[in-house]
Structure 1
Amino acid sequence: MEELSMKDVELTVKTMADVAIANKQYFSQLDSVVGDADFGVSLSTGFQAVLDKWDTLDHSSISSFLMKVGVVITSNVGGVSGPIWGTGFMRVGIASKDKTALRLADLVAMSRAAMGWHDATRRGRIR
C-alpha cells in the first residue's frame, strides 16, 4: 500500500480507540508505577467520547476529521492527557491539510507536527 485513504485514517483512529478502551486497566496499572494511575482512564474516556460522537464528526477530509478528533479528546479528558493527546491530533490535522491521501512523507511530517510540544505545554500549563 503506497497511500492511506480517508477510510484508512478512520480505521486507524477507531483501532486506537478500541485498544485504549480495551486496555484501560492495564494502562492505568502501568501509570501507577510512576504516576497517579489515571492514564488508562483518561485515554479510554477520550477515545470513548470519539466513538460516541463518531457519526457527528466531520468525515469530509482527513484534516477536518483529525482536527475534530482532537477537539473531542481535549473537551472530554481532564488533566494533562486531554491537552497532550487532543493537541497532537489537532496538529496532525493541520499538517494533513489539503491531503486526500497520505504517503510516507506525509506521515513523517504529521508525526513531527504531533510532537511539537509547545502548543500542548501552553494548553496544559505544563512547566
Structure 2
Amino acid sequence: MKSKSDVEALEKLIGQLQGLHSEISLLAKKAPSDAVNAFKLRLINNVIAAANDVLGPNYLPFGDFEAFNADDVPSTSDVALVLAQYMEEAERYRSDNVKYWKGRWVYVVNGDSSDIPSGAPTKVGKK
C-alpha cells in the first residue's frame, strides 16, 4: 500500500463486503435460487468495482469477472459465492500488508511500518 488512503479504502471495502455477504447469505439460505433485485445488484456491483480497484490484478479472485450482468439477474447463492471470494482476497491482501512492530500489528505503507493499527493477519504467505 502506498498511502493512508489506500489503507482506509481497504478497511472500507472489507466492511462493505462483510455487510453485503451477511445480508445476501441470509437471503440465500431462505431462497438460494431467487434473483437479486436491481437495487441490491447495483449496490453490490458498486462494491465489486471498488474491490477491483483496491485489490488490483494480483488479488482479484477471478481474472475475468468485473461485475454481475444486470440482464442475467444472478441468484442470491451466486452473489453470496462471489462476495465470499472477494472477502477472502481482501483479507489476503490485508494480511500481506501488515506486520508486527513494537508490540502491535500495523499496516505497512510504502514498505515501512506505519502508525496505522491493524489486526493480526489471518492468511499466511502470498499467492
Tell me if both proteins adopt one fold, taking TM over 0.5 as the criterion. no
Higher relative contact order (CA 8 A, sep 6+): 2
**Which of the two has higher C-alpha Rg?**
2
Higher strand share: 2
Higher helix share: 1
What TM-score does the superposition give when structure 2 sets the normalisation length? 0.28
What TM-score does the superposition give when structure 1 sets the normalisation length? 0.28
